[in-house]
Amino acid sequence: MSDWPEIDAYRRQLSPLLCGLAIREVEVGREQAINEPIDEFASHLNGRKVLFVERRGRQLLLHLDDGNRVLFALPPGGWLHLGPSAPEGERAQIALSFEDGETLFAGGPRAVACHRLSAKSVNEMWRGLGPDPFDARLTEEAFVKRLSARRGKLKATLVDQKLVSGIGGAYADEICFEAEVLPAAPIPELADETKRRIYRSMRKVLEEAAADPAGFPFRVHGREGEACPRCGGTIRQEALSSKKMTFCPSCQKEA
């Protein structure tokens, strides 16, 4: 699933362009992307106005004037595009056309989720989801307290959406690198100051990535075998439970 920076960039891009506009046409190119029969999906959306655009964790919501929501969840490599046509060479799975003549296209290498949901369904789905990384209530001390209650490995905990919502594997690797802590570090062995450094690293990495998701310079993720940009050591990739972790064994430590 696409991560916090990509989804937040879409929110910032689409909010001023879609709010107040009515949906005039719905096209479904991949039926698996929606959560009800095509005719019902289209008839319920036609004529509905977008009131505002919200991001929660790694999902994007269009709030509609009938009280329902359109939820987008993008797979890795998934995309949204607002314009007269889909990006060249891409096949849209969903197309929502608006009264100003523009169309919101969604696609990707795997099925996009584009679901029409009630407010109650969304609230139930999000129950238990952790706070946003930039929620004003998630202070440094609040983060340390939440992290200290965990007993697993650092990266596995960072991608647990119940701790903080929106962090995926790629950015978890980058947060660990920025904090100079190994992704496999056991949380009970981390000093409180290290946990504070992880908090500051989380906000720094996500803020930089959100400013330019397409141009964000990943320093360890996807760079196995290359030289570490900080110390010159060799970046490694290893298994962590059922996932992968990418790190520099020379300058990232256990605590």
What is the per-residue pLDDT for 254? 83
What is the pTM for the complete model shown?
A: 0.88
Nearest to 76 by CA among 28, 106, 34, 112: 112
Rounded distance between C-alpha atoms, residue 58 and residue 162, angstroms: 13
In this prediction, the residues of the chain whose per-residue pLDDT falls under 50 are: none
What is the per-residue pLDDT for 235? 98
Strand partners, 25: 97
From its phi and psi, is residue 48 left (phi > 0), alpha (psi between -120 and 50) or beta? beta
φ, ψ at 214 (rounded to 5°): -70, -25
Sequence-ordered strand ranges (E) for 41-162: 50-56, 59-64, 69-73, 79-83, 94-98, 103-107, 113-117
Rounded distance between C-alpha atoms, residue 82 and residue 96, angstroms: 9
What domains sit in the chain, N to C, each tagged with a CATH number? 4-126 (3.20.190.10), 140-247 (1.10.8.50)
φ, ψ at 46 (rounded to 5°): -60, 130
Which tens digits make up the pLDDT trace of 73-89? 998 889 999 999 999 99
Rounded distance between C-alpha atoms, residue 172 and residue 178, angstroms: 10
